Amino acid sequence: MIVRQFTCRAVLFAHWRKPGGRKAMARPSSDLAAFREIFSKAKNIAIITGAGVSAESGVPTFRGAGGYWRKWEAQELASPEAFARNPSRVWEFYHYRREVMLTKDPNPAHLAIAECEERLSKQGRKVTVITQNIDELHHRAGSKNILEIHGSLFKTRCMTCGHEAANYKSPICAALEGKGAPDPDTRDAEIPVQNLPRCEQTGCHGLLRPAVVWFGETLDADILTRAEKVLDSCDLCLVVGTSSVVYPAAMFAPQVAVRGVPVAEFNMENTPATMRFKFHFHGPCGTTLPPALARHETEQE
């Protein structure tokens, strides 16, 4: 069972570090031509994406320095306990995040991934995106084969009947119109629970919640199984906008690497020298990814 954790992410990886050992000290390569050679032959590519890809589109993450919505960081609002205590406040937070997405667009990294999937599919080759991002920017960029391991801002789940539905309404309900301002001195709207988003299944009318994986909740078993299947069969793995030591890639990339399959990181962070991964391309993924995934000279039209 995999529970979404916010702290101690590095613990997942602790067993990988060999104390004082030299075995795994080789630095990953940043040789783009060598990556392209492997890429040109790969038939089944897994692309794990994280917050960095969204950040390059200006999507706020509500984590770290300056990452507050009113007085809170995401982990204080994105939990079943917070929702039980104050569903109005949590819905204001998610309403704000949904509305913000109307002003954001996929960036060159999203577009390069989507274009690559479409191009390779015509050659009988497969690309799967495994993302922790809930903003649907991969979808909007045109990616089809996406596993959203943390759900989506644009899906709801009924607390009563469990029904999940896509929901792109703006505002999601009348009572939230104009609410959700992020400034620290904004007062809670204190919307009565019956006026929050409600289930539209016949005879239900239960309270809806965002269909995202909150802190302390388990990941969807079906999506996780599908992700495992991709990771167990891929012949190339890209980790984009997140480090391989940081969740969620820390959960997935090692199982690819132990099979001897090349893993390539594209991110802004330095990689510990102990990493066994083959490639690391430093910089904004909107800059590094497009040339890496562009048509290779050996690809047929």
Is 52 labeled as ligand-binding?
Answer: yes
* Backbone angles phi and psi of 208, in degrees to 5: -90, 155
Check residue 145 for interaction with Zn ion (CB under 5 A): no
**Nearest CB to Zn ion, comparing residues 210 and 248:** 210
Does position 199 interact with Zn ion (CB under 5 A)? The reply is yes
Backbone φ, ψ for residue 180 (5° rounding): 90, 10
The residue (of 175 and 199) whose beta carbon lies closer to Zn ion is 199
Q: What is the smallest separation between the CB atom of 197 and Zn ion, expressed in angstroms?
A: 11
Candidate list 38, 204, 268, 294; residue touching Zn ion; CB under 5 A: 204
For 233, phi and psi rounded to 5 degrees? -115, -10
* Cα separation, 33 vs 75, whole angstroms: 41
What is the longest distance spanned by two Cα atoms in the chain? 64
Work out whether 207 is an interface residue with Zn ion (CB under 5 A): no
Count of residues that bind Zn ion according to CB under 5 A: 8
Q: How far is the CB of 60 from Zn ion (least distance, A)?
A: 30
267 is in an annotated binding site: yes
Interatomic CA distance for residues 18 and 263, integer angstroms: 20
Burial of 289 (0-12, 13-18, 19+ CB in 10 A): buried
Q: Which listed residue (150, 205, 280, 296) is catalytic?
A: 150
Dihedral sign computed on CA atoms, order 76, 172, 213, 54? negative
Letters for 153-182 (x = contact with Zn ion by CB under 5 A, - = none) are -----x-xx-x-------------------
Q: Is 201 in the site for Zn ion (CB under 5 A)?
A: yes
Instruction: Kindly list the distances between the CA atom of residue 254 and the CA atoms of 21, 93, 169, 273, 277, in Å, as whole numbers in the listed order.
Output: 18, 34, 39, 15, 9
Residue 211 as a binder of Zn ion (CB under 5 A): the answer is: no
150 is annotated as an active-site residue: yes
Sites of contact with Zn ion (CB under 5 A): 158, 160-161, 163, 199, 201, 204, 206
**Active site members:** 150
